[in-house]
Structure 1
């Protein structure tokens, strides 16, 4: 099966500092791939290069076999790449459904010709997306009064508004309670299964990573040091050294913070 996303020797320097060094990997259709590593490992830098927010010093990024290196974030988005962020950014003065409607209007290139009846545009499609993430019942609530976990669900609906083939999720469960984390990642796994979307996500909660990812990559000091399924990553001596200083293997119910 051909890769939806592929990086080849992806590298980024900040002066003398090498933030990401020669990172190569592939993400297949319908795969949920976790990118983990300690703070400062280069995860966010890697994400920013994939989305076009940072140009690579060297290397390439391919989306469905075509290079997207050098494209602006909006151009990458137009190619079918969605992204959620560690800290949610929504229009707090708008309702839940209006936020998703805005995303749909942008997808349909209508954002610069908003009319007085804009609140009626794409409402049914927005409600359908909210239903996908379990938020349809809260469609007409203002975002300012939502719980943080609900904001994360709404952000996921917004990311799905342009029917992406690839979804980048930067610490999707940050700031959420343990039960909310599990629920959100199960929802993401269901979307991967039902829609065939490919997902690359970073995460600090190892319980979430081990329970839901099909495959895991470990980044340390900008270099990819391990790749495999949950059992292989748990047993990898280099990963144990990075996370636990040479201690025991991750336990089945143990959470490590990267």
Structure 2
């Protein structure tokens, strides 16, 4: 598979402290790749540099072969990179489908088309995105009464409205019940398979990571210490030391 994202020796320094130290990796087209590590490892800092919220101290980021290092987040988004966040950011006063319509209005550059006809715009298209995340039956419910897991699904639908070719997902299952975590990540895996979207995600739930990722990267103290498939990462001595003080990370038979 050809790469969609390439990161070269990325660094971020704060008053001499290296939050990210020389990280290099790539994400292939149609790949579901996890970036894991303990708290403070540098995962969110890395994500913020990829999306333009932070400017790297050193290093380069390329999307589809074009340099995007230091570009503004909106410019990167317009190029085809989407992102979801740990904390959902939906409009609670609107219905589910209205939130998706708002995202579509932004995508189609109609965000200022407010008025009596505004909420008729892109309703059919919005409904299709809700079908993708299995929320079509909740289209007209207010977001304020949704369960947290459903808010996460809605956030995914909103992110997909821009039809990203690469989606960055920061802790997509944080705060969700175990069964809802599995359902959401299976949904993401299905989207990767069916639509060819590439996904790079951070996650603390190792069951989710090992069950769904094509490849896994491990950050520790700002440095990349492992990058490979589930078996290679599970058996990596450095990874075992970071997570369990030298124990076995997971039993082989516990994960597909």
TM-score by length of 2: 0.97
Q: Distance in 2 between matches of 1:85 and 1:249?
A: 27
1:67 aligned partner: 67
Task: Give the deviation of 1:247 after TM superposition.
Answer: 2.0
How far has the Cα of 1:116 moved from its partner? 2.0
Q: Is the 1:61–1:68 contact (alpha carbons within 8 Å) kept by the matching residues of 2?
A: yes
Unmatched runs of 5 consecutive residues or more in structure 1: none
1:1-40 alignment runs, 5 A limit: 1-40=1-40
Q: Determine helix, strand or coil for the equivalent of 2:199.
A: strand
Q: 1:78 to 1:103 in 2, by over 3 A?
A: same
Equivalent residues in 2 for 1:179-258 (5 A)?
179-252=179-252
Q: Distance in 1 between matches of 2:17 and 2:254?
A: 33
3-state SS of paired residue (1:219) = strand
1-structure distance, mates of 2:37, 2:209: 12
Relative distance call for 1:242 and 1:254 in structure 2 (3 A) is farther
Q: CA deviation at 1:252?
A: 4.8
Q: Output one character per residue of 1:186-224: Cα deviation in whole Å (capped at 9) or x when no partner.
A: 000000001000000000010100000000000000000
Match of 2:144?
144
**CA offsets 1:81-129 (integer angstroms, 9 cap, x no match):** 1111111011000000000000000001111232321110000000000
Which secondary structure does the structure 2 equivalent of 1:149 belong to?
A: helix
Taking the aligned partners of 1:48 and 1:254, their CA distance within structure 2 comes to: 33
Deviations 1:222-252 (A, max 9, x none): 0000011111111000000000111234235
2: CA distance, partners of 1:83 / 1:134: 20
* Alpha-carbon distance between aligned partners in 2 of 1:70 and 1:45, rounded to the nearest angstrom: 14
- Evaluate the alpha carbon distance shift between residue 177 and residue 89 of structure 1 in structure 2; reply closer, same or farther with a 3 A threshold: same
The CA distance in 2 between the partners of 1:186 and 1:113, in whole Å, is 36
How far off is 1:4 after superposition? 0.5
Aligned length, in residue pairs = 255
Cα drift, residue 70 of structure 1: 1.6
Q: d(CA) in 1 for partners of 2:36 and 2:254?
A: 15
**What CA RMSD, in Å, does the superposition of the two structures yield over aligned residues?**
1.2
Q: In structure 2, what is the equivalent of residue 42 of structure 1?
A: 42
How far residue 2 of structure 1 moved from its aligned partner, in angstroms, is 2.6
